[in-house]
Chains A and B, each alone.
Chain A
Amino acid sequence: MTAEHDRFVEQLAAYVLESLAAEDRAGLEAHVAGCAACVALLAEYRAVVGTLPIGLDPVAPPARAWETIRARARSGRRQSAASRAARWASAARWPAVAALVLVLAGWNVTLQRELARRAPGPAPGPEVEALSRRPGRIVILKGTGQPAASARIFVAVDGGGHLAVSGLDTVPAERVYQLWFVRAAGAPVSGATFRPDGSGRAWVKVAVPTTLDDVDTIVVTEETAPGTTSPTGTPLLTALPWR
């Protein structure tokens, strides 16, 4: 096998994941067309990629989805929902949204990585693993009172969430950090209390309000243990806009 063949083999994994740069695809496809070894490996990789969704926790489709499909199939009046969505997205907002998706995706995996690497403390269990894999949104908190600190809240679309923090100072036994959902009207809602470990990291499950629509901001303050009913300290972490 040649060095060129080895280079194409290196690209096959990205190719089947549709992650290979467009400028590399044509060259790879030309090579594969004449390379039995790559054809075999490509087929095996395709089988692997084809089974990846099977590893997800199954979610039943909405009960009326089939009726809609059948009705459209019968009428022949197929109207692509995706096409409608693409029209809504009319050009101006698209670059910013694409960039946001990219960044959020990165944050999401960074969160999972942080969960897995936090130390000391137990490794994430199945519950954490399952929670981190559910669809949802990420809210980023930046260190306003402690500039080296940062945090991410993962809010699952079907409720629940967790908070991963890094870079926070340790606190004495009589003090805790407390996460707050500060609402435009009404009292702030406590989402969690926690103490970071010796390396400034913490992971904690969060009680997320039913809706974030009336939440003005999300902050972390330092409070008296075991926590208070409303924030008294200065915000040490403050959420970036998530809307």
Chain B
Amino acid sequence: MRAEALVDAGDHELLQRMRQGDESALEALYARYGGLVYTLALRIVGDPELAREVLQDTFLRCWDAGDAYDPARGRVPWWLMGIARNRAIDLLRSRPHQARLREREPLGREAVERPGHGTPDDAVLRRAVADALRDLSVPQREAVELAYYGGLTQAEIAKALGTPLGTVKSRTREAMERLRRALGPRLGPMEGTSP
């Protein structure tokens, strides 16, 4: 089956097809989330070549271990983002990241163009998330971003900012509460019940 034929297939169906060796399902999943995974990876590692490695590893892991997805822990894209984030943080922490940045090739045009895919609903949600983040105070936003994009523990954030650990904890909690209130209504019924 061609990937175009799966454009309306649900994420769970794509994973199920992948488990049966359907390469077109992998292609459809990539078409759906490849841009988002790459964007996240690039935000974390700051280097196009490393981001591409993260992108490739993420989808190959899905191909190899699609049955590792647990619906109880959330939606498929959250699972994908989790894989990508962990890969990217591993790279960030396990190699001379700044040296790699120095060695990098200049970004090609293809890498800075906007993705061609994405529905109007995607654009609305993107705007909502960006607005919600912008509405946080700067200290709240930096607490969330250092944790999520920087892969830092609360103690590491406190050390990096020269801020008491308790303050970092409260900022993180306040930020998540504000994001939850701002975005919750747009995210629909929440799935995922296991820790």
Contacts and interface: CB of A to CB of B under 8 A. Distances in A.
A81 B53 CA distance: 6
A109 B179 CA distance: 19
A199 interface: no
Contacts of A32: 195
Interface residues of A, number: 85
B30 A69 contact: yes
A187 interface: no
B190 A47 contact: yes
B55 interface: yes
Contacts of B104: 157
Interface in B130-181: 130, 132-134, 138-139, 142, 144-148, 150-157, 159-161, 169-170, 172-173, 175-177, 179-180
Given A21-B153, A52-B148, A89-B94, A47 B183 contact: yes
Given A43-B192, A60-B115, A105-B160, A157 B30 contact: no
A13 B144 CA distance: 9
Nearest to A212: B102
A101 B97 contact: yes
Interface in B9-52: 23, 26-27, 30, 34-40, 42-43, 45-48, 50, 52
Given A13-B173, A80-B57, A102-B160, A18 B151 contact: yes
A184 interface: no
Contact of B98 (A56, A104, A116): A104
Interface in A82-117: 82, 85-86, 88-89, 93-94, 97-98, 100-106, 109-110, 112-113, 116-117
Contact of A58 (B39, B56, B107, B191): B39
Nearest to A60: B115
Contacts of B85: 18
B5 interface: no
Interface of A: 10-14, 16-21, 28-29, 32-33, 39-40, 42-63, 65-66, 68-70, 72-74, 78, 80-82, 85-86, 88-89, 93-94, 97-98, 100-106, 109-110, 112-113, 116-117, 129, 133, 135-137, 157-159, 210, 212-213, 242-243
